[in-house]
Structure 1
C-alpha cells in the first residue's frame, strides 16, 4: 500500500471501462437513424418553385410557378408579392389542377397595394 492509498483510500471502479463507449455508440446510432427517418418520412408527391416573376406596374406582379409531380395531385399554392422593405404588398391563392405530366408551369398575376420588387412562393399543398 502506498502513502496515497493510505491517505485517500483505494478507488474501486464500479462500472466496466467499455460501458460508456458502448452507450455513446448506441446513442449516436439512434440519433442518426432518427434523422434519416425524419428526413425521408414526409416527402411530398410534388415540388414547386418560382420560375420567374415580373413587376408589370405599381399594382400588378406576374409570377410563373414551376411544379414537379411524382403523381397527379391537385394543388393550392399561395404566393406573395413583397416591396423593397420586405413588406407583403399582395397575395394570391392559385388553384393548380392535377396533371399527368411530370412538370407544369402556371402563370398568375398578383394585385398589389404598392410597387413590389419580388414574388415569393409561400406554400404549395395538396388541395
Structure 2
C-alpha cells in the first residue's frame, strides 16, 4: 500500500473527497463574486468622480493689512452650486481669517472665483481649504 492508497482510503472512509462538479461550482461561485466586486468598485469610482469638486488656489494678493484677496479655480459639473471655505494665515501658519463663499451654478465646467477675506492680523497667504456641493 502506498501513501496515496492510504490517503484515498481515509478520504473514502471519512467523506473527504469532493466531486469534480462540486469543485467546478466552487470556482464558478468565486468567479461570480470576483466579477461582482470588480463591478461594484468600478461603479463607485465613476460615481464619486462624477460628483466631485476640484478647487485650486490660483493666486492671492494682500491689498492691505487686514484683507487677503484669494483667486480660486473651481471645477465641477455644469449646473452645480458649490460652496468653498477660504482661509488666510500668518507667517506662523496661524489662521487669521476665513470665509465661506458660495459659487452659483453655471454652464461652465471651470469657474474662477475671487473673494476678499477680512483678517484679524497681517496675513502672509490665502488659499482655498475645501469645496463641497450644495
TM over 0.5: same fold? yes
Give the direction of change, closer, same or farther, for the CA distance of 1:2–1:62 in structure 2 (3 Å limit).
same
Q: CA deviation at 1:94?
A: 0.7
Q: TM-score, normalised on structure 2?
A: 0.65
Aligned to 2:100: 93
8 Å CA contact retained: 1:50, 1:63? no
Q: CA deviation at 1:27?
A: 1.9
Aligned length: 125
Q: CA deviation at 1:29?
A: 1.0
Q: Pick which of 61-70 and 23-32 moved more.
A: 61-70
Deviations 1:2-25 (CA, angstroms, capped at 9, x unpaired): 467559942241353334433332
Q: Structure 2 residue aligned with 1:13, among 9, 17, 23?
A: 17
Deviations 1:67-119 (CA, angstroms, capped at 9, x unpaired): 33533243322223345665544321112223233432111122334434451
Q: TM-score, normalised on structure 1?
A: 0.68
Distance 2:92 2:17 in 1: 64
Give the direction of change, closer, same or farther, for the CA distance of 1:83–1:39 in structure 2 (3 Å limit).
farther
- Which runs of at least 4 in structure 1 moved beyond 6 Å after TM superposition? none
Distance 1:73 1:7 in 2: 67
Q: CA deviation at 1:36?
A: 1.1
Larger radius of gyration: 2
Structure 1 unmatched ranges of 5 or more: none
How big is the alpha-carbon RMSD for the aligned residues of Structure 1 and Structure 2? Answer: 3.3
Structure 2 unmatched ranges of 5 or more: none
Distance 2:77 2:125 in 1: 32
**Quick check: which one's helix share is greater?**
2
